[in-house]
Structure formats: C-alpha cells, structure tokens
Amino acid sequence: MQEATFLILTALAAGSQHGYGIITDVQEISRGRVRLRAGTLYTALERLRTDELIAVDREEIVENRLRRYYRLTPKGSGLLAAEAGRLQANAAAALSRLDLAGGMA
Amino acid sequence: MIEPTALERGYRRLLAWYPRSFRAAQEEEILAVLMAGAEQGQRRPRFAEAVDLIRSAVRMRLWPGRSGPERRDLADGLAVFSLVAPLFLLVAGILQVVLPYHTSMAADLVRFTGPPRDVGGMSLLRVHLFDITVGCEAVIAALVLLGQRLLAMLAIAAAAVYWAVSSWWMPSIPYPLQLITAGVYLVVMAALLASPGPRRGRELVNWRHGAMLLLAAVAFQGFAFWYAAKGNMVLGFGYDPVTPLYPLAGVVLVIAAVVLAVAARINRYFLLVCAAACYPCAAQLVFARFHTDLLGNPTPARLAALFVPPVLFALGVVFTAAVRHSLDDHGEMPIRRVTSP
C-alpha cells in the first residue's frame, strides 16, 4: 500500500470525512509532509470505492456546495489494520536491529 | 442565482478533461473541494492545480478504474468489436463473393453491366481465392461466436498469411477488400488481446450493432462496386452510367450507420475502434478522390500512410490494457505527493 493511500484510510479511520477534510487531515497526520491535491485525491477515492475499501456515508449541501462524506468499510478497516500491523512489525524489527548495532558499537 | 466566479469557471474548464460519467457524479463535489482550498482573492487555478487535474483526468481516461463505468465502456467496446468485426467481414465477403458469383445475381449483374468483367472488385477468374477467403472469415466468425479467443487469433494469423501469400502471386487483389480486411483484422487482434473477449461481447451485442453492421457492409459494397467500375473504365470496358451512384449510395449508407449509432447511443469506444479499423479503406477512398492510388503504386510512404495509424492504434489498445492490468495487479494508482515547504 502506498503511503498516501494509507494516510487517506487513516484519515477516515476515526469517522467519516468529506474531500477537503481528508486533504487537511492527511496533511496533519503526515505533519505537513504529504499534501494531496484534489485531482490526486479523487483518483484515489474512486479507486478505493471501486475496491470497496471506502463508501459514501452521506451528502450535505453547505453554502450551495455539495459535500460528500466518505467512511471506511469493514473491508477497508481490516486492510488498514493489517497494513498498520505490518508497518509496526517492520518498524519494531528495524529499531531492534538498530539498538543491537548501537549496543555492539 | 449566483454568478460563477472566474475561478470557478477556470476550475470547470479543467474538470472538463475528466470522463463525462465521472464528471456527472463528482464534478460539483471536486469543485467544492477546490473552492474550499483556494486562497482569498485567488482569481484563477494555480499552475500546480491545473497540472494535477489534467494529469488525473488523462490517467482516468487512459487507465480507468477496474470496475468504473469508463472501464466498462472501454473493455466492453473492445469486446463487442472483437465479436462484431469478424461478422462484418463475413457479411461483406458474402455480399462481394457468394452473392454475385454463386446465385442468379451473377447472371443478372453480367446482363446488366455487359460482358464478363470485374464486378464488385472481383474477377470471375479469381472466384476460388475469394471463396477460400470467405471460408476463412466464416471460420473466424464462428470461433468468436463460440467465444474461442485463442483459436480465433490463430485463425486470423493463418488468414493473414494466406492473404500475404495470395498477394504475392496475385498482386491485383481488389483494394477495398484487401484494405478493410487488413485494417479490421489488425484491430480485431488487438481487441481480442486487450478485452474480456468475445464471450463478453456476446452478452452485450444487440440488434443495433446488427443494423449498423449491415448498413456498413452494404456501404462498403457500394465503394467496392465503384472501384470495379473505375477499373473497368481504365481497361476500356466503357462507361457504366450507374457508376456515380455507387459512391453516393456508399456515403448515404455510411451516414445512416453513423446516425443510427448516435441515436442508439452505441458505446463510443466501440465506434472509435470501428473508425480505426476502417481507416485504411477510408484513406484509400479519400486519396483516390484526388487521383492518388495509395495501394496501386505502393511506395513505403504510401503503405505507411495506410497502415501506420491502425497499427499504432492497435498497439495503443494493447499497451493501455497491459498498463491497466499492471496497475490492477499492484492494486494501486500512483499518488502525487507534495512536500510542503
């Protein structure tokens, strides 16, 4: 899973969000390192919807503009949890080996 | 009603790059996101935004999602073409060969047009060659109808070899048949490779495709008659007063086929593939209008003008499918990452 996809799913993990909310949340989660643009975001959302990892939660009209809220599906939650576990295990392995190398030095 | 601002109009112009079906579902939503992200006083889309939107739109058109409407359109258009095109060639072949020479129509035509000579691009002396050709077309059509993709591709390859060998010892094979066969089979091969295959095409095909196919085949026959009549004039068989009616009938039937396709809302990708397949024949007809016989005096440049566009189109279809499958395998679309300052 690419980082931006991981971050989009992470942004939706706490609850449903609309497009602009996802952009700002991804920027916050990544500490400003990843800034999605609208075209890129909606290409990703289209693909995630096709893969049934996310779904439309509801629609609202705010100041005459359409807001569509997206939420994680159970399949998306499962995939995100698996990916987070994999990253965590890899990070733990890397840190432990670095500690080991530091101890030997 | 609130007048759209210059910024909104600019964004809408950029969103017009997206496929229609995607725009219908998402345009207002993306526009809301773009407007929410715009800076105070911003009057036009930023360059980076424009690049991102155009790039995403082009990517969506070229490599649509696995099961989105555009993806289905492209794949289904190719699938229908892989089924319908061999049937078109069979109908055109039957109109050109079987009807004129193996029915009472032959005698009627000869009576009408004078002494034995080329009719519809065929010489009576060459009838066995074209009988075999129609036989090949019948086999290919039967294989695609049965959904035998691989066998159909092998049969097309065998037919192509047969045509090439025949052309070697019989250089005067009628141009329209040669061109339409070459162009259609090139693209059919690509469609068979890149689509879900003729089984899927069988599920989708309907009477509209059949009506369009018949109109196009009869139109094609009109052009073939025109070629034959022109050839006969050159050979000194005299002027046939019906000659001007052949291309006229062909053009009217082509227009009727296009009107039917538009009115019946036939898959636009299917129409695009049909246009690419018919290109060599159309190019020959257009150049003939200006007294340039591309295939009659086939220099490398003229052959390139006839066949490079459909070859490129066929390669493009296969490449697009290959890249799409590659993206599907990875389950990812590359996502642009921008590091903030």
Residue extents of the structural domains in chain A: 3-104
DSSP B341: -
pLDDT, average across residues B91-95: 77
- pLDDT tens digits, B262-305: 887 787 788 888 888 778 878 877 777 776 777 667 677 777 77
Question: What is the b/e burial string over B23-34, where b = at least 16 CB atoms within 10 angstroms of the residue's CB?
Answer: beebbbbbbbbb
- pLDDT tens digits, B138-185: 999 999 888 888 898 888 888 877 776 766 665 555 566 666 777 778
Higher pLDDT, B216 or A10: A10
Query: What CATH class does A3-104 carry?
Result: mainly alpha
Give the bridge partners for B119, in sequence order.
B122
Question: Nearest residue of A to residue B29 by CA position?
Answer: A66
The angle at the Cα of B71, spanning B69 to B75, to the nearest 5 degrees, equals: 120
pLDDT given at position B231: 62
Cβ pair B281, B178 in contact under 8 A: no
CA-based nearest distance A95→chain B, Å: 25
pLDDT, average across residues B78-101: 77
Q: How far apart are CA A6 and CA A29, in angstroms?
A: 11
* Residue B193 forms contact with A (CB below 8 Å): no
In the sheet that holds A54-62, the strands lie side by side as A17-18, A65-72, A54-62
Mark yes or no for CB contact A43/B333 under 8 Å: yes
What are the mean pLDDT values of chain A's consecutive 10-residue runs (105 residues total)? 88 92 92 90 88 88 86 92 92 87 60
User: pTM (2 decimals)?
Assistant: 0.53
